[in-house]
Amino acid sequence: MNRDATIDMDSYRLAKYAVQVPCYVCNGGNTYDAELCRHCFAPMALAHQANTQKLHPRMIAAIGPSGVGKTVYLGMLIDMLSRSEDHLQLLARGAFSINLQQATTSALQQGSFPEKTPNEPDRWNWVHCQVRAAKQRRPVELIMPDLAGEALLEEVEHPRTYEVIRSLLSKSAGVLLLVDACQLHHGEHDQDYFAMKLLSYLIELDDDPKLGWPSRPIAIIMSKADECEECFLDAKAFAEKHASGVWKLCRERFRQAEFFASGVAGACGFWTPPRADPVRIPLRVEPRGIIEPFEWLIGRLGG
């Protein structure tokens, strides 16, 4: 005996896949249920969340060589602002936006630094957040990824190797450029050279004097300055003395570039595991100069 029943046709189910959802970073088309963009591997949750908001998020990139402290800086920044009750506050959007904060604070609590960010974009941590500033009427929606330093170098040396980096930096409203102050103080110029390459790469992406990188805000952060007190006294003078290439390039090509000093570990030591190279570990956590560069950048994002 047969009874009447309603059965969805397979063609109706497949109709959902006919409409492509553009990635928020690279604009590549994806299916509605994709977790990561098939073109640049950015989380598709960014696109879905942006579509539900009237004001689309701005993007900010933290860039710098491998080992300069981008992960530690971003994780500490997000943790401090998410717990702050002062004039600058941060509210994370989405569960994936908590991963970077959790990984950084957990590692520091256990007496170590977070693991190195892998080169594979599908393993990067992304943060979508809302920032409220006392001097601004409306909150700012931001997207900030934790990029791998080696992937950045590969993209600079061989453009279009990492489409996600190229698309992100093309659309970013500003950048946080981290440079190792400790290495600069000891006369190692690789940090200066790498920072110059990154700044030149930004100019190559968009050199429009009004809307391009010459007019976008760039915060140059001398990281690990807790090991070089001279940097905290005058970050700009320190850069002029120890990173003259970056200082001259900013003076000539970028109208909104400012120098800052920051540090997370008040003191560091080295631990030597059995049959392994020494590992740098934090002896105590004393964040200094973490919020100031970010606050300066937020104040200059514009409308």
Give residue-wise pLDDT tens across range 254-296: 999 999 999 998 778 888 888 778 888 888 889 999 999 999 9
Please tell me whether residues 185 and 263 are part of one structural domain.
Answer: yes
Please tell me whether residues 48 and 143 are part of one structural domain.
Answer: no
Q: Which of 8, 27, 52 is the last residue of a domain?
A: 52
Position 251 in a domain: yes
Q: Give yes or no for a contact between 125 and 72, defined as CB atoms under 8 angstroms apart.
A: no
Please tell me whether residues 80 and 46 are part of one structural domain.
Answer: no
Please tell me whether residues 74 and 148 are part of one structural domain.
Answer: yes
As a whole number of Å, the CA-based R_g of the chain is 21
Cα torsion 272, 273, 277, 283 to 10°: value is -40
Position 228 in a domain: yes
Please tell me whether residues 168 and 230 are part of one structural domain.
Answer: yes
Nearest to 91 by CA among 51, 136, 128, 144: 128
Position 12 in a domain: no
Calpha distance 190→68 (Å, rounded)? 12
Position 29 in a domain: yes
Position 9 in a domain: no
pLDDT at 16 over 70: no
Is residue 15 very low, low, confident or very high in pLDDT (cuts 50, 70, 90)?
A: low
Per-residue pLDDT tens over the stretch 64-74? 999 999 999 99
Based on the structure, what is the number of domains in the chain?
A: 2
Q: Give yes or no for a contact between 24 and 137, defined as CB atoms under 8 angstroms apart.
A: no
Position 3 in a domain: no
Please tell me whether residues 40 and 159 are part of one structural domain.
Answer: no
Please tell me whether residues 232 and 92 are part of one structural domain.
Answer: yes
> Domain limits at 66?
57-299
Within 13 Å, how many C-alpha atoms sit on residue 218's CB side? 29
Please tell me whether residues 63 and 191 are part of one structural domain.
Answer: yes
Question: What does the pLDDT read at residue 244?
Answer: 94
Please tell me whether residues 48 and 61 are part of one structural domain.
Answer: no
Question: What does the pLDDT read at residue 148?
Answer: 95
141-152 mean pLDDT? 95
Residue 101 is part of a domain; what is its CATH number? 3.40.50.300
pTM score, two decimals? 0.90
Within 13 Å, how many C-alpha atoms sit on residue 144's CB side? 30
Mean pLDDT of the chain: 90
Question: What does the pLDDT read at residue 11?
Answer: 60
